[in-house]
Structure 1
Amino acid sequence: MSFIIDWITNIIIFILLAIVIDLLLPSTNLQKYVKMVIGLILILVMLSPILKIFKVDVDQLIAMIHTEGHAEKNVIENVIEQKKTEIQASQRAYILEQMAVHMKKDVAEELMNQYGLTIKDITFEIGREENFRIPDDIQFIEVIVAPDKKEQSGIVPTVQPIEIDTSEPMKRTDEYGKLAMDTASFLAKKWGVNEEKIAVQVEGGR
């Protein structure tokens, strides 16, 4: 008789405890998981007399449920953290992409008028992955520019006598180097960024 009283008492106490836990838990996905575990444990408590007949250790079963539940919780937390990282990465990429679009637009006309160049690509090197601030966390900006094809196509070169000049590649390299430096200085002033943080590469240069 005492066994039955203890059994019923355990069930009542567990139900009351489950109600209190349910009231204290916030309404999240974790609440569903906790309810499932509580339900399984309640079933084991209610079946404890039958399990004892078959010599099944109820405490061991509860411990197994808790261990499996804890492992499942860790998996869920890892998935959530992974999704959070993916969302932050996509937000970061979108912000940088939009920033590059605006930066191109701000200097496009003047860059064409002064240097005959168009910006092909802008890439950023950011100091930190999360909660980065613009422009404080911009460590480096790489800009690829190219001479405007329309302007080049409109120029008809005059025919000159053919002369072999071995210094021509060096002159061209020097010209591209100076153009890249002048362009970097121009962009630094326009964007309000330290010139040392900008590297300009002219397409066709070495």
Structure 2
Amino acid sequence: MVELLSSWIQNIILFILLSVVIEMLLPRSDMQKYVRMAAGLVLLILILTPIMKLFAMDGEELMERARESIASIPAAGNDIGAKKKEIQARQDAYILEQTAFRLKEAAEKGLIGQFGFRFEEIEIELKKGDGNIPGDAEEIRAVLAKEEGGREVEEIREVHIGADGDAKRIEEDLRQEIVKYLSEKWEVDSEKLEIVIEGG
């Protein structure tokens, strides 16, 4: 439809330019009046051509063209919707990455100083829908690794060589202390935190 309209306007403009050039080439005489009248009639026909085509068209053909025009509109809307979702997904990923970075910065010095661990990775899983990070996070998973030379030298404790259960209990106690520390530091419910200690 737009192509039809643009070609129609283009034809009118070209005809007007051509008639002006022809009129300038003709000498002033009675012939010039006849040329103007003929050019005016041709211009009138050019202007009325699309209207005559509309009346010459079959009603069903007109309806079919209208349906095609209307059908093309939702396809463009779907394209825009898909791009919007893609941009939103990129923004969400960027926000999660920045939030994980800020969480790491807020707690890493204390984590190294108190427990001798550093962050390897922080993953944030949000609840479905929009929410504030990290308060509305469904889960925050932190992978920790032992920091070399991070802890200050402590007093040597008595060592008991015993069952494997003691080591697991000690590791679980340490994990709970870290969860408590991070929960307070990040102001997040401790049930939402999952701590994985590499090599432990």
TM-score per shorter chain, which class? Answer: 0.5 to 0.7
State the aligned residue count: 150
Query: Identity of counterpart residues, as a percentage?
Result: 27
Match of 2:81 in 1: 81
Aligned 8 A contact 2:135 2:188 in 1: no
Alpha-carbon distance in structure 1 between the residues aligned to 2:163 and 2:51: 92
Q: CA deviation at 1:74?
A: 1.1
Normalised TM-score (structure 2)? 0.65
Q: CA deviation at 1:178?
A: 2.2
Aligned 8 A contact 1:123 1:143 in 2: yes
Match of 2:143 in 1: 144
Q: CA deviation at 1:70?
A: 2.1
AA at the equivalent of 1:144: V
Alpha-carbon distance in structure 2 between the residues aligned to 1:48 and 1:74: 26
Residue 36 (1) aligns with residue 2 (2): yes
Q: CA deviation at 1:69?
A: 1.8
Deviation track 1:101-141 (CA, whole Å, cap 9, x = no partner) reads 011011111100111101111111212334x2234422221
Q: In structure 2, do the counterparts of structure 1 residues 137 and 46 end up closer, same or farther at CA, with 3 Å as the change threshold?
A: farther
Alpha-carbon distance in structure 2 between the residues aligned to 1:146 and 1:81: 42
SS at the partner of 1:151? coil
SS at the partner of 2:118? strand
SS at the partner of 1:146? strand
Q: Report the aligned-residue RMSD.
A: 2.8
Alpha-carbon distance in structure 1 between the residues aligned to 2:175 and 2:115: 10
Larger radius of gyration: 2
Residue 181 (1) aligns with residue 172 (2): no
Question: Runs of 5+ in structure 2 lacking a partner?
Answer: 9-48, 154-160
Q: In structure 2, do the counterparts of structure 1 residues 80 and 113 end up closer, same or farther at CA, with 3 Å as the change threshold?
A: same
AA at the equivalent of 1:60: E
Alpha-carbon distance in structure 1 between the residues aligned to 2:100 and 2:122: 6
Aligned 8 A contact 1:141 1:197 in 2: yes
Match of 1:64 in 2: 64
Match of 1:104 in 2: 104
Question: Runs of 5+ in structure 1 lacking a partner?
Answer: 1-34, 156-164
